[in-house]
Amino acid sequence: MSEIRPVKVGLIGCGNISSIYFKNCARHPSLDLVACADLVPERACGRRDEFGAHACSVDELLADPEIEIVLNLTIPNAHFEVGMAALEAGKSVYSEKPLSANREQGRRLLAKAREKGLLVGCAPDTFLGGGIQTCRKLIDDGWIGEPVAATGFMMGHGPEGWHPDPIFFYKRGAGPMFDMGPYYITALVNLIAPVKRVSGSARITFPQRTVTSEPKFGTIIDVEIPTHVAGVLDFANGAVGTLITSFDVWAADLPRIEIYGTEGSLSVPDPNTFGGPIRIRRAGAKDWSEVPLTFGYAENGRAVGLADMAQALRTGRPHRASGDLAFHVLDVMESIHDASREERYVHLEAALDRPAPLPLGLKDYVTPW
């Protein structure tokens, strides 16, 4: 296949997460991150000085005819507004998770993209890392038989003790499920199947939080979103999953993800990372065995989903960290909250195919796929 012309990218939102995107975009032959913008111009200028991209206003970035993809790294409540502005400007958009604050916004984004003939992509792309891709290969090849159940646990006490600006984590569109749930649910959908039905329970344990990190030490946060969320997920293939995300737990000693099959069990690495370790224990074995990774992207590979989307833009093939996948994950998360509030099962809106696995043996930062 002939060389793919790089896709020019403009980044909006120069906060904490933007640094790794700048670094990794520079390593992907399919990406050319040329401009950055932020509501706080000093942030954009800081990234310009650090990485060399042109610093400009949001309006200037959206008006640039050479930019084909907007990388949307704004806070969750701004994902819809910025994403829609990018689509209206004729640009595809790749967003940090979640896709939007609610289903209705997600529907509108996907409808606008279809209307304009553009692409929508969304983090997390950690499921494209060497760890979860190796797990996908093990499951697809039958190493644990048919998956019958899964567990996932994200247990901690919230980001107000370490994050420089943690207030948004406790506002609508965030909380532990919307912040960390996308990693777990995306991994489980990739490994097992889409979700068809959920139930759940959720609560706010501490109505107020005190920031103990700098520079907002002492700020009081009024909590608007449940901070301990437990869900039961019924997958389309019949497997049953249990997922807990919490900002209310001081300490826990639980696995991140385990998948239980008819022929064995699989311990999946932290879905917020790209590497291992992976452990498997097949029926009759006396202990767990560690499995080596058989795919690349074992380090912090954020932007691999963006690179995959850029190549899809050039070639016309489907991209893996897609808007449809992100909407399904958003639907799962919102449905768990709905199930708790309304005391019922919630059935998911639409069927979805699992993303295609990466080619076996793929090396880091190569093109094309």
| Tally of structural domains, the chain | 2
Within a domain: residue 218? Answer: yes
* 151 shares a domain with 82: no
Domain that holds residue 85: 7-125+301-322
pTM of the predicted structure, to 2 decimals: 0.94
* 197 shares a domain with 100: no
* Tokens standing for residue 174: 């965030």
Residues 6+ apart with CB under 8 A from 176: 154, 156, 158, 227, 228, 229, 245, 246, 247
The counts of H helices and E strands in the chain are 9, 17
151-176 per-position pLDDT tens digit: 999 999 999 999 988 999 999 878 99
- pLDDT of the residue at 3: 66
pLDDT tens by residue, the chain, 369 residues = 456 789 999 999 999 899 999 999 999 999 999 999 999 999 999 999 999 999 999 999 999 999 999 999 998 889 999 999 999 999 999 999 999 989 999 999 999 999 999 999 999 999 999 999 999 999 999 999 999 999 999 999 999 999 988 999 999 878 999 999 999 999 999 999 999 999 999 999 999 999 999 999 999 999 999 999 999 999 999 999 999 999 999 999 999 999 999 999 999 999 999 999 999 999 999 999 999 999 999 999 999 999 999 999 999 999 999 999 999 999 999 999 999 999 999 999 767 899 999 988 777 887 656
* 157 shares a domain with 56: no
- pLDDT of the residue at 350: 67
Last residue of a domain, one of 269, 291, 313: 291
281-325 per-position pLDDT tens digit: 999 999 999 999 999 999 999 999 999 999 999 999 999 999 999
Hey, how many other C-beta atoms are within 10 angstroms of the C-beta on 115? 9
Within a domain: residue 31? Answer: yes
Within a domain: residue 151? Answer: yes
* 282 shares a domain with 207: yes
Last residue of a domain, one of 238, 270, 291: 291
Paired residues of 241 in beta bridges:
150, 233
- DSSP sequence for 248-287: S-S-----SEEEEETTEEEEEPPTTSSS--EEEEETT-SS
Within a domain: residue 341? Answer: no
| Cα–Cα distance, 25 to 364 (Å, whole number) | 12
Within a domain: residue 369? Answer: no
Paired residues of 322 in beta bridges:
121
Within a domain: residue 136? Answer: yes
- pLDDT of the residue at 361: 77
- pLDDT of the residue at 1: 43
- pLDDT of the residue at 16: 86
Within a domain: residue 49? Answer: yes
